[in-house]
Structure 1
Amino acid sequence: MSDLSTRQASIHRMAEVMREFMARAVLFQDAVARSAGLNGTDMQCVSLLMSGGPATPGELAERTGLTAGGAITAAIDRLERAGYVSRRRDPDDRRRVIVTADVDRVMEQVGPIYGRVGARWAEYLDTLSDEQIDFANELFARAAEVNREEIELLRDAARPDGTA
């Protein structure tokens, strides 16, 4: 019986740790964004462009969950004025606009912050075994997948017509 209660306590503690981690991650990203003169959503737009590659405004809206109309246009306008993205016509379809992150500008503004955090993580990771690192990779990958799935469920529920 004590094994079960120990396990339940460990699972409860894990839920607390994940909540704290997720809250701190959001607050950290917001602080990084503000240090670069952006808001958190705009910083995530840039991040998604860097990881997923250039996109049309509609594609970026889909990646972020922002509406394809005014919200994404306003975000792109702010990012372009700040020098973090550029817009250009799609050479294959002049009606389409492609938004691209200026990686050099992003790295100039926030690279040192992420470099410092990365160095601190590398120092910690050096203390772990290969098996522990493999487990952590699996845990974070699964957490990211659960979050992605839950975002999709929330977006689907928010659609007025109920379509996916």
Structure 2
Amino acid sequence: MPEKPSTRTAAIARQGEVMREFMARAVLFQEAVARSGGLNGSDLQAVGLLLSEGPATPGELAARTGLTAGGAVTAMIDRLERAGFVTRTRDENDRRRVIVSAVPEAVMGRVGHVYGRVAERWNEYLDTLTDEQIDFANEFLVRAARLNQEETEALHGAARP
């Protein structure tokens, strides 16, 4: 008769299922938010990266998003600029370089209400947790995000000739 898996083994397997569900729902949510703001998901993620990591050259933005430098990133920046989500300026130290910056007011004006609603609901849940549980959750999500970033970078590197 096969051995029954341990409680820990079962919990780890369940965590894998929960993480897959969470990631799928997060991607679908981001796509819905993007559409509600008149964008596609990749464009919204690029704006999000500009907001969180700061302004970038088109090449740096391409590296952050995994797009090819040149046509794809230029087309994305063009769309975002037309929509008012980003601006392009010349680098003060090197006038040949272009710097792309997010326009936070435009982003918040278009999709901020959605994130505000989710934050309110999430904060209601967080109020039910202990400080230790919140600290654990923060560490868990930081590590998950870092692992995802590393694996994304590895996949982007593997895709390049």
TM (normalized to structure 1)? 0.94
- State yes or no: 1:136 paired with 2:143: no
Match of 1:85 in 2: 86
- State yes or no: 1:58 paired with 2:68: no
Letter of the 1:90 partner, please give it.
D
Q: Measure, in 2, the Cα distance between the counterparts of 1:93 and 1:69.
A: 19
**Taking every aligned residue pair, what percent have the same amino acid on both sides?**
70
Structural mapping, 1:1-164, within 5 Å:
5-160=6-161
Q: Measure, in 2, the Cα distance between the counterparts of 1:152 and 1:98.
A: 22
Q: Measure, in 1, the Cα distance between the counterparts of 2:14 and 2:99.
A: 45
SS in 2 for 1:131: helix
Give 5+ residue unaligned stretches, structure 2. Answer: none
Q: Could you list the runs of 4 or more consecutive aligned residues of structure 1 that deviate by over 4 angstroms after TM superposition? A: none
Deviation at 1:56, TM superposition (A): 0.6
Q: Measure, in 1, the Cα distance between the counterparts of 2:145 and 2:34.
A: 21
- RMSD, matched Cα: 1.1
How many residue pairs match? The answer is 159
